[in-house]
Amino acid sequence: MADFMLPGGIDPTTPVIVGAGQASERLDDPDYRMLGEADLAADAVRAAFADTGVDADRVAALVDVAAAVRSFEKSSPASSSPLGRPNNMPRAVAARTGMNPRRAVEEVTGGQSPQHLVGEFGAEIAAGATDAVLLFGAEVISTVRAARKHDNPPDFTETVDGPLEDRGYGIAGLTSVDEVRHGVMTPIAQYSILENARRHRLGRSRAEYAAGMGALFAPMTEVAAANPHAASRQVLSAADLAVPTEENRRVSVPYTRRLVSRDQVNQAAAVLLMSAGAASAAGIDPSRWVFVHGYSDLREPPMMERPDLSRAPAATAAMHTALDMAGIELGDVAALDLYSCFPIAVSNVADAFGLEADDPRGLTVTGGLPFFGGPGNDYSMHAIVEIVHRARRAPGSFGLVAANGGILSKYSVGVYSTAPTPWPASTSAAVQHELDAAARVPLTRYADGRATIESFTVLDPDRDDRAGTVVGRLYDGTRFIAAADGDDLLDLLCGNEDPVGRTVYARSSATRNVVALSRAELDVRHPLSTVGFAEEYQDLIVRRDGRVLEVTINRPDSRNAISPRTNAELDAVFDAYFADPELWVAILTGAGDKAFSSGNDLASTASSGGLSMPENGFAGLTARRELPKPIIAAVNGFALGGGLEIALAAHVIVADETATFGLPEVKVGLVAAAGGLVRLPRMLPPALARDMILTGRRLTADEALAHGLVSRIASRGDVLTTARAVADEILAASPAAVRASIATMRETHSTPDTVTAVRDSLAVLDDILVSPDTMEGVTAFVQKRAPRWTGR
């Protein structure tokens, strides 16, 4: 086949889309084949190769890079492959389609990834780094769910040799610990919160807002009905979508089932990018070439930090950035596809650009995620395929694909046309810098007191076990998330009245925040803990000896690891210690001779959800704002991970000669976030601290003493005796002076200038000089007798 000449003025490194194809199957198709992910993807790749108009084997041999969109079976640490999967999806598909790529890439999680890959590899082609890149993605969620019910389900496991550039999940920041603690783990819950914030901003009733969502999506069902690859080909009215029925149950406030993305699909899509020079050499007719005229990739901050929960300006900015790059307005676009996992993903952009639901161009070219289907992260690959085909049918026209990932978190936009254009340089970094300059909302992890509702949702609102979540603001303007408590509040959230702005009352615990409509309700269902010592503890031995409190972590079988219950008991004990005027010194140690504490009890923590920690931190100490009275850590074995973090929070550490100290978190994929990352570099030489944190290196007792981590070493088995001797020495000093010294050290710790810190520390004398203990100390010194301290 003869090569085509390059059209005039086109640089041979200009990237062009030369092939685009799709594949799909439904369970009720007469020719349904129960294909696995790799086989269905291969069908889409073959369709893309055929779309080039030249010999498929010739094209396949040219592919240098095969990049796969990450499927749902690999989208998070919690995902799984019930029927197995290839270990190297790009190369599994390559083997089926005649490719032997130099690079095999698996992209990060997110619906933005297909459009992002076009921009990334378009830039690589333009830079001369490669000549041909195959992008593809596939989902067979419908097949996997159905096949698991069979007696002999297929096994899609496959081992393929060859390197794989696995880019990981890329989901950091999309869901916070606080959201997980309060049940906001699914996109339905997260998007519902954003949607209800928008409803409040627009001042609409629940019924009005639901009707608007139905009207926005109803035209999409008509597009899906005409698409042979759509999962649903049923035309539905606005009422069919928005009004709850047995077939269209409410999945949340405000969504019905038909208003959310459909994940049970078997769909695949592929796009072939080549340099103009390589395309010409391959004999691909320039009339099939589609150029990228504009592209952008922008991000929002985490959901809970956004200034306005009802808006996502990064999506709007991404649209403007890509259109500006293309030198056109949105009105110049002939066909567009706005990512439509949930209504607000569309309305967020439509609001900014004045788009109406009945725009004659339509807001989707596929039928949208609830109707065409939401094939995992790969939906927008299908949109790109459709836009490519439309661009060819109307040469010189423009098409736009807007792809969303996360919780309106990552937004990628592409503008396409057959009109030749050089590859434009990205401007996204500059725009992202502008977006990042916006102020973020400060957060409160543990919320207590009067607050107002900022947004909310209720999952499965028509079930007896409905679960409500509130995003609220405290008096100081900080934002928090909490579980809605009580039927009255849940009824308000599910009703016609807009609850945003209503007063609620928040109360925190180790596991979560709750809000209710009154303090009285909280007091009944979540009474405040009484400060004081309990008659009995399950995980501790608590002993008073005059002015000294001795606390022993009594879990020797688990090497004194801290479980959620241990955390709660220690938190309560230290509350009682600080509140008891008769106690002046506390000693904390571990039972047995093996361990002070091995840190977090991972087994019990995992079984309880992994997120139970008091507001005062690990062991009730590591995040406590004030430790006004001295605590001695008597380390009687190893202090590892959280065990070392507990010791670091104490005022004095004494160690058995056999003790060891370390932060091994990185060895199990964790980090020392309960104080180790902050306190250890402040207590040890920075190089040594970094060594311990990054490698898990342990220090012996002698090394810890040499570097100033501990103050005294006891003979084997005598650490508690040594700690008691230190306590006696502290008791011999003025308790008022000891406490004032502790407070002053804490207050001046972060002052970098020594002279300023010294001058600031003089303020401590204002209280000490009028203390009865100071007068007693001076008098006893003059009279040459032991002082009789009062603690005042």
For residue 203, report the phi and psi dihedrals to the nearest 5 degrees.
70, 35
Q: Strand ranges (DSSP E) for 283-422?
A: 290-299, 333-338, 398-405, 410-417
Active site residue 107: no
Enumerate the H helices of 226-342 as residue ranges.
238-242, 276-281, 313-326
CB 13 within 8 A of CB 125: yes
CA atoms within 13 A on the CB side of 459: 14
User: CA 702, 704, 709: angle at the middle one, nearest 5?
Assistant: 145
Residue 743 DSSP label: H
Q: Strand ranges (DSSP E) for 327-459?
A: 333-338, 398-405, 410-417, 449-459
User: CA 322, 309, 407: angle at the middle one, nearest 5?
Assistant: 60
Kindly tell me the burial class for residue 703, based on how many C-beta atoms sit within 10 Å of its own C-beta (0-12, 13-18, 19 or more).
middle
CB 141 within 8 A of CB 265: yes
* Element at 181 (helix H, strand E): helix 177-181
C-alpha pair distances (Å), 389 with each of 28, 339, 386, 645: 27, 18, 5, 60
C-alpha pair distances (Å), 236 with each of 94, 105, 225, 658: 39, 39, 10, 73
Question: Helix axis angle, 754-761 relative to 735-748, nearest 10°?
Answer: 150
What tokens were used for 134? 């195959």
From the list 429, 419, 504, the residue with the least C-alpha distance to 469 is 504
* 46 Cβ neighbours under 8 A, 6+ residues apart: 21, 56, 97
Q: What is the separation, in whole angstroms, between the first and last Cα of the chain?
A: 98
Kindly tell me the burial class for residue 673, based on how many C-beta atoms sit within 10 Å of its own C-beta (0-12, 13-18, 19 or more).
middle
CB 311 within 8 A of CB 300: no
Of 25, 645, 657, 747, catalytic: 645
Of 665, 703, 729, 776, catalytic: 665
Taking the CA atoms of the chain, what radius of gyration do you get in angstroms? Answer: 32
Residue keyed to tokens 């055929």:
50
CA distance 410 to 312: 10
Active site residue 645: yes
CA distance 450 to 790: 39
- Chain centroid offset of residue 250 CA: 26
As a whole number of angstroms, the longest Cα–Cα distance in the chain is 112
* Element at 633 (helix H, strand E): strand 631-635
From the list 11, 9, 65, 20, the residue with the least C-alpha distance to 288 is 20
User: CA 116, 120, 124: angle at the middle one, nearest 5?
Assistant: 165
Tell how strand 513-516 and strand 503-508 pair up. Answer: antiparallel
Q: Is 390 helix (H, G, I), strand (E, B) or coil?
A: helix
* Element at 194 (helix H, strand E): helix 187-202
* Element at 123 (helix H, strand E): helix 113-126
CA distance 631 to 572: 15
C-alpha pair distances (Å), 650 with each of 295, 549, 582: 54, 14, 20
CB 18 within 8 A of CB 284: yes
* Active-site amino acid positions: 645, 665
